[in-house]
Amino acid sequence: MKPKALKKGDKIAIIAPSSPTTKEKVEKAISSVEKMGLTPIVYPSCLSEHGHLSGTDDERAKDINDAFENKEISGIVCLKGGYGTPRLLNLIDYEAIKKNPKYFLGYSDITGLHIALNKMCNLVTYHGPMASSGWINNLDDYTLKYLEKSLFSNIALGIVENPEGEQIESLYPGICEGEIVGGNLSLLVSTLGSPYEIDAKGKILFIEEVSEHNYRIDRMLMSLDLAGKFSDCNGIILGTFTKCEPDTKDDNFKDLDLMTIFNEIIGKYNKPTVYNFRAGHNYPQPTFPFGVKVKLNADDGIIEFLESSNV
């Protein structure tokens, strides 16, 4: 299911399904959404706090369900990431969402919702900047271009290029096609063994991460490997691994570097694979849809979105 492309003046729900933030940042997020020509509707979770969460599980899930069911709301933008979405997955009304497909945007911890909405509702969703970070301080020309395309266009995204000076590199050659799925590595692993476990069969798997030592990246990639995700998929896109550094152990033993880890875990499958796609915890960053067909040319480092994500 594809949401309708937005138009200027549409009402947009701002929700906080993960960690809390300050009232000041919420106010700035409101202003940022207004500058995009959209009408922000702030849901209660944005101004709530429950320890490390932006409200209780019931409160945050209610905001998601209410925003999808509200006929006046045309799209949903997550305020920020952090942690919290796995606690909501059993509380979401997927049948109601199937009847009310809408634009849905976020990344990082929002991966938990991307996976569930893609799998349980077959809904196209969008990986991109959130209202309290990207929309406030980081709408450079590159980021803004791809955000506006995802919001307002019903034309296929086509070839997504990196920001100037950054190259999409080939790790393993080959050309493949498939529906793109994925997101943050920690969240992909946290849903393994659940009804929301990512389905990578015949698909192109996108992975990014932030602030994890390399040995933890190794462990999480191995979890995906043991679950058959790399053998199932058609190809792999490695996004940014921001602030992911080796950890020095006792007696000065040091983690393997990331390229060695990628080669040893992913390489044995000889699937078309690229790295340094500048999507993840970094700016500039593109907004792109999950759940649409993509052509991955790992020979030349080209990622091409073949179908529209909006109607």
Active site residues: 108, 208, 281
CA dist 3 to 73, 99, 123, 154, 169, Å?
12, 11, 8, 10, 32
Pull the structure tokens for residue 193.
């063994």
Determine the residue type at 25. K
Element (H, E) at 128: none
Is the CB of residue 34 less than 8 Å from the CB of residue 14?
Answer: no
* Dist CA 190 CA 175 (whole Å): 30
* Dist CA 18 CA 44 (whole Å): 13
- Give one DSSP letter per residue of 167-209, joined into a string: -PEEEE--EEEEEEEEEEHHHHHHTTTSTT----TTSEEEEEE
Is the CB of residue 13 less than 8 Å from the CB of residue 38?
Answer: no
Beta pairing, strands 125-127 & 288-290: antiparallel
Burial of 35 (0-12, 13-18, 19+ CB in 10 A): exposed
Element (H, E) at 104: strand 103-106
Determine the residue type at 161. E
